[in-house]
Amino acid sequence: MKLFSKSPEETVSEQPVQTPPPIETSPPTETGQPEIDAASAPLDAEGTAAPQGQFFLPGPAPKTVEETGLSESFLINHLCKVLHAGGTLTPAQIAEVVKLPKLVCRQLIKQMSTLMLVEAQGLDSADIKSDIRYTLTDLGKAWALDALNVSQYIGPAPVTLEAFEAQIRRQSISHEEIHRTELDSALSHLVIPNILKAQLGPAANSGRSMLLYGEPGNGKTSLAEALGMSFRDVVSFPYAILVGHQIIRFYDETLHQTADLPEDQPRSDLRWVPCHRPVVIAGGELMLHMLDLSFEHTARFYEAPMHLKALGGVFVLDDFGRQAEPPQAYLNRWIVPLEKGFDILSLHTGKKFGVPFDQLVVFSSNMLPEEMGDDAALRRIYFKIHVPSPTKEDYLQIFRDTCDSLQIAWQPEVMEVFFNRKYEEAGFVTSGAHPGFLMRHILAACRYLDREPELSLELLELAWRNVAASKRRDRR
């Protein structure tokens, strides 16, 4: 985004595509990061603490303009825009906006004063130790307008693409190990067979891709979300990235969950936000163009695509096969990222650049694998895991858990009759979604009838009439 206003646009021929090398899958030998809770960390086969629960934080805050990795001209343009939007500001107030140390902001303001872009407006208060306030001169206002014509991004200063790539490699999801205890804890709210857990564990540790397929309503999305919750590391994401002269906004408060740091944690570069490993879910609304950079033509800066924001975490393609484009098209789009570990993105100028593709990609679908694409594409999906419909025992356990959560008395005799009648005799396929669905209808009926909710055959029969999408027992 923000250029020094007279800088030329870059082209493909000027800078060839740089494809980052694939991320190493072995844990780093020296992270330099403290563990969150070494005492309670799970033990490996030799009885030593597993390398989990680490902080992957950026380096210390820059002390000079050069240490920011950004040019002085770019930062002067950026500060001009901040002052144009904020009016009269102190260096501390400017530093709060751009997330750079006050020392660096003072260096820039000194240069801006030399260029006659700003002028001092006196102290911020009667206290002689308070900051001096600064405002733009007429020349500074014109300079700011020129910068705003290039890009209207105002906020934290970006980090360089090189710094972004290096940080993503340091905090690769493949560096974190998920042990059985963590996975059991993350899946404790779900009723699933042990054989399924045994398949999910290696898939989660691979940091690769997996397909969860099976009948609808059996918890594929819940499984994918739970996998994401089993990770414990704290990673760092930038507010924005500078590529050439263009800014890409990255941090998304709707997708990234910030993490608290210990009070004694050394101060690091505030252009980065400490976060838990993200879990990003895209459903039937996902279009192919949403996997590319989104350019805001009015504001003239970019928004990172959803899968890029999931770096170092879990990206779930829910209801895979129900998107506007066929599944093969999405698999074709990701053949190179899934195979090589990097993705290629394009700016509106035509410039292309590579970024790491480091995430656990989970395809969740009601389709069979062979219905999604050809063998070449399916080979890139590393794990293919069938999520079965619940057995009678599991179905009744789900139903009982649902009743317990609603404080409704469990009636095993009633449920035995109901299950035999609707599933065994009528041949309907069990679904993990049915218990919650039926109980919501029972609660609604009881409110209408002005009676206490209960688990009775009468109410179950009434609720069952709304089950319209069940399938006959023609299991493969």
Q: What is the pLDDT of residue 123?
A: 77
Q: What is the pLDDT of residue 476?
A: 38
CATH number, domain 392-464: 1.10.8
Q: With beta carbons less than 8 A apart as the criterion, state whether 349 and 13 touch.
A: no
Q: What is the pLDDT of residue 122?
A: 78
For residue 291, give both structure tokens.
Answer: 């996997």
Match 């980090």 to its residue by tokens. Answer: 159
- Nearest Cα neighbor of 333 from 283, 385, 305, 292 is 292
Q: With beta carbons less than 8 A apart as the criterion, state whether 23 and 341 touch.
A: yes
What number of other Cβ atoms are within 10 A of residue 318's Cβ?
21
Which residues, other chains included, contact 455 with Cβ-Cβ below 8 Å and sequence gap of 6+? 403, 408, 409, 410, 411, 414, 415, 442
The arrangement of secondary structure in 71-156, i.e. its CATH architecture, is Orthogonal Bundle (1.10)
Torsion of CA 57, 63, 65, 70, to 10 degrees: -10
In this structure, the chain runs to a length of: 476
For residue 219, give both structure tokens.
Answer: 């918890």
Can you name the residues that pair with 249 across neighbouring β-strands? 240, 303
Q: What is the pLDDT of residue 473?
A: 44
Segments making up each domain of the chain, as ranges: 71-156, 160-386, 392-464
Q: What is the pLDDT of residue 434?
A: 95
Q: Which fold has domain 160-386?
A: Rossmann fold (3.40.50)
Q: What is the pLDDT of residue 266?
A: 78
Q: Quick one: 437 exposed, middle or buried, by C-beta within 10 A (0-12, 13-18, 19+)? A: middle
Which residues, other chains included, contact 203 with Cβ-Cβ below 8 Å and sequence gap of 6+? 210, 227, 360, 382, 383, 385
For residue 143, give both structure tokens.
Answer: 């300079």
Q: What is the pLDDT of residue 128?
A: 53
User: What are the pLDDT tens digits along the chain (476 aa)?
Assistant: 333 333 333 333 333 444 554 444 434 333 333 333 333 333 333 343 334 589 999 999 999 999 999 999 999 999 999 999 999 999 999 999 999 999 999 999 999 999 999 999 877 655 555 689 999 999 999 999 999 999 999 999 999 999 999 999 999 999 999 888 888 999 999 999 999 999 999 999 988 899 999 998 899 999 999 988 899 999 999 999 999 899 999 999 999 999 988 887 777 899 999 999 999 999 889 999 999 999 999 999 999 999 999 999 999 999 999 998 999 999 999 888 998 999 999 999 889 999 999 999 999 999 999 999 888 888 889 999 999 999 999 999 999 999 999 999 999 999 999 999 999 998 889 999 999 999 999 999 999 999 999 999 999 999 998 875 444 444 43
Can you name the residues that pair with 230 across neighbouring β-strands? none
